[in-house]
Amino acid sequence: MDGAAEVRITRREHFSAGHRLFLPELSDAENYSVFGPCSNPKGHGHNYRLEVTVAGPVDARTGMVMDLKRLHDVVQAVILDKVDHRNLNLEVDFLQGVQPTTENLAWAFFQELAPHIPKGRLRRIRLEETDRNSAEYEER
Q: How far is residue 107's CA from residue 136's CA, in Å, rounded to a whole number?
A: 8
Task: List helix spans (H) across 7-96.
Answer: 28-35, 68-75, 81-83
CB of 96 to a copy of itself, least distance (A): 14
- Interface of this chain with a copy of itself, residues 48 to 107, rule: CB under 8 A: 58, 61-65, 68-69, 84-87, 90-91, 98-104, 106-107
Determine, following the binding rule CB under 8 A, whether residue 13 of this chain makes contact with a copy of itself: yes
**Which residue type does 56 have?**
G
Q: How far is residue 90's CA from residue 96's CA, in Å, rounded to a whole number?
A: 7
Determine, following the binding rule CB under 8 A, whether residue 138 of this chain makes contact with a copy of itself: yes
* 30, 32, 48, 100, 119 from 90: Cα distances, Å: 21, 20, 17, 10, 31
Q: Which is nearer to a copy of itself, 64 or 78 (CB)?
A: 64
CB of 22 to a copy of itself, least distance (A): 10
CB of 4 to a copy of itself, least distance (A): 11
Q: How far is residue 102's CA from residue 108's CA, in Å, rounded to a whole number?
A: 10
Binding residues vs a copy of itself (CB under 8 A): 1, 5, 7-14, 16-19, 21, 23, 34-38, 40, 42-47, 58, 61-65, 68-69, 84-87, 90-91, 98-104, 106-107, 130-138
